[in-house]
Amino acid sequence: MKISEALRWAQNQLDSDTARLDAEVLLCHLLGVGRVYLFTHDDQDLGRQLNTFKKMIERRRCGEPVAHITGVREFWSLPLQVTPATLIPRPDTETLVEWCLDQELPATARVLDLGTGTGAIACALASERPGWSVTATDRSREALEVASRNKTQIGLENLELVNSDWFGSLTGLRFDLIVSNPPYIAEGDEHLSSGDVRFEPKTALVSGVSGLDDILIIAAGACEHFDGTGWLALEHGYDQGESVRDILENTGYRAVETIQDLAGQDRITVGFWSQP
């Protein structure tokens, strides 16, 4: 079967909004080529690779995320390894990375990424700012192994990975910037039963009945881990901006502000801590 025929066949099998794109991404991964290749070589015969492609399409047809089938997802132009032990990095989270890079922080800033998963945020910040010392935590050892492989593959020397349940293993450590994309979905939310999230760890997604349990813990705990002053930046759901601003203001943060993602949805809320 030719590339063009295989893609048409796959698109019909998948029957979703992203069918064509998914089929192209999977075939590119299998062939080890970029998307342009698929168009410039559309009459190339797939030969024995057709069978593997059909198996990949069958997994996708059953709902498995593309990132789990390929084992990689690009974030901030970094090809990150992904497994079912971690959340799949989302483009929304790049809003958080951008905000951090826009701040006037010391050239040798100490930065903490809580619940790092694949290491997406931490790897992006550490690679953009070689002078920063980035610490990234996760309570899941399996997730930390994935983050560690990503750290090694990118070759980051300014990133330290720590097995910690939020601030549990960080006693005495101080930072200039604390960030997190914590679990923030409410238990029982209907979004949990469709799409990629069905295949992601619930512990990385769900946070109590309101979805705000972990954000409350992080906002309160972070105050103990700034060196007098520092910024906190948290990702959250599109409808949680007001609640997160309230949490930060009630905890004593100043300059509290919510920032929208590229789709115009409330996505991150930030606050400045200054020791009273």
| Closest approach of ligand GLN to the CB of residue 105, in Å | 19
Among the listed ranges 117-125, 188-196, 225-233, 268-276, the one in contact with ligand GLN (CB under 6 A) is 117-125
Q: Interface with ligand GLN includes 116 (CB under 6 A)?
A: yes
Please choose, from the candidates 241, 272, 274, the residue with its C-alpha nearest in 3D space to the C-alpha of residue 258: 241
Strands (E), 139-265: 159-163, 175-180, 226-235, 254-260
Count of residues interacting with ligand GLN (CB under 6 A): 13
Which is closer to ligand GLN, CB of 19 or CB of 112?
112
| Closest approach of ligand GLN to the CB of residue 160, in Å | 16
Among 182, 237, 241, 271, binds ligand GLN (CB under 6 A): 182
Which is closer to ligand GLN, CB of 10 or CB of 185?
185
Please choose, from the candidates 261, 273, 253, the residue with its C-alpha nearest in 3D space to the C-alpha of residue 90: 261
Q: Which position has the token pair 């063009």?
A: 4
Among the listed ranges 39-47, 111-119, 127-135, 262-270, the one in contact with ligand GLN (CB under 6 A) is 111-119
Among 135, 181, 251, 269, binds ligand GLN (CB under 6 A): 181
The span from the CA of 149 to the CA of 143, in Å, is: 10
The span from the CA of 186 to the CA of 175, in Å, is: 29
172 class by beta-carbon count within 10 Å (0-12 exposed, 13-18 middle, 19+ buried): exposed
Q: Which residues of 107-118 are buried (b: 16+ CB within 10 A; e: fewer)?
A: eebbbbbbbbbb
Among 93, 95, 158, 243, binds ligand GLN (CB under 6 A): 93
The span from the CA of 158 to the CA of 125, in Å, is: 10
Q: Which of residues 184-243 bind ligand GLN (CB under 6 A)?
A: 204
Residue 133: other Cβ atoms inside 10 A = 16
Closest CB to ligand GLN belongs to which residue? 117
Among 87, 197, 222, 232, binds ligand GLN (CB under 6 A): 87
Among the listed ranges 7-15, 179-187, 215-223, 226-234, the one in contact with ligand GLN (CB under 6 A) is 179-187
Q: Are 274 and 251 in contact (CB under 8 A)?
A: no
What is the x/- site pattern for ligand GLN, positions 121-140, by CB under 6 A? x-------------------
Please list the alpha-helical segments (H only) found in the chain: 3-14, 19-31, 35-40, 49-61, 66-70, 94-102, 120-128, 141-154, 213-222, 241-251
Among 19, 27, 82, 120, binds ligand GLN (CB under 6 A): 120
Binding site for ligand GLN (CB under 6 A): 87, 89, 93, 115-118, 120-121, 181-183, 204
